[in-house]
Amino acid sequence: MIATKTRLSESPASVGADTASRTPVGGRIAPASPKRIARIAGVLYLLVGIFGGFAQGFVYPKIYVAGDAATTVANLLANSGLARLGVVADFFDNITWVFLALILYGLLKHVNKSAARAMVVLVAIGAGITMLNAVFEFEALRVATGAVNLSGLGAAGPNALALLLVDAQHYGLLIASIFFGLWLVPLGYLAYKSGWFPKALSVGLVVGGACYLVDMLAAFLVPDFGKAIHGYVTIPSAIAEVWMVLYLLVIGVRIQMPDERLVPKGRS
């Protein structure tokens, strides 16, 4: 059983404020604003979307053609500079994702430290897999451009190997999508329990995480059906994550500081 102990007299908001980093102000110790921390997380989440969208949503489709070695190699040669940028974007994407998880850990660990740790571990695993996949793409580019001597494989050998490497990246990304989804589950749980985010957003994150898993399982178990539903099953995930980014950037968190007092109407 996972539980977080708090003093009965404290609300989650006050615990979060107490556990935030502190900086000296005018001789006193003032807690860093959770809203500020949340907005930093929002900026990092936005960068994850930008880098990931460029590498996997823009560059990758311009290169990979399933089952067609000649076209895949031709695409690598025609877009070699773009492919290199895509690899670097993948690296920055996943480094930023890890820092995002660490920032969210600091923001939400007061809710449930075990769940917050699980979130960071899932992100670290997913980021490691995705960065390794980018190496396959880079090696495919080296094969296609002749940077690796593969004359012993015959005329068609290098093309076949390049396709194999990009294929490995393709299925590696599907495996990484397990963690793209799983990390949203503890994030949604923490967001729900904290009371700092809309309940619908918190539930949407968990549903979005489940949709990532459905998409991955369909791709491996029933590929034709997976292709047919891919464009639909990823919609809840996209909505939840875009909503989370916008909420972090615009609102931050919905929090009442411990020293705030409710003033009855009619009194100044």
What's the distance, CA 194 to chain centroid? 20
Taking alpha carbons only, the member of 94, 90, 119 closest to residue 184 is 119
The answer as to whether 167 is a domain residue is yes
Query: Cβ(71)–Cβ(159) under 8 Å?
Result: no
- At residue 1, the pLDDT reads 43
Return the CA Rg of the chain. 23
Six token digits for residue 216? 């991955």
Domain that holds residue 49: 31-250
Per-residue pLDDT of the chain (268 residues; tens, 9 = 90+): 434 333 333 444 444 444 444 444 444 444 568 888 999 999 999 999 999 999 888 988 888 888 788 898 898 998 888 999 999 999 999 999 999 999 999 999 999 999 999 999 999 999 999 999 889 989 998 888 877 766 556 667 788 888 899 889 888 888 998 999 999 999 999 999 988 999 999 999 999 999 999 999 998 899 888 888 888 888 999 999 999 999 999 888 877 654 444 444 444 4
In whole angstroms, what is the distance from residue 167 CA to residue 177 CA?
15
The answer as to whether 187 is a domain residue is yes
The answer as to whether 18 is a domain residue is no
- At residue 20, the pLDDT reads 44
CB burial of residue 234 (10 Å; 0-12, 13-18, 19+): middle
- Write down the pTM of the prediction: 0.78
The answer as to whether 184 is a domain residue is yes
The answer as to whether 26 is a domain residue is no
In whole angstroms, what is the distance from residue 264 CA to residue 258 CA?
17
Q: What's the structural domain count of the chain?
A: 1
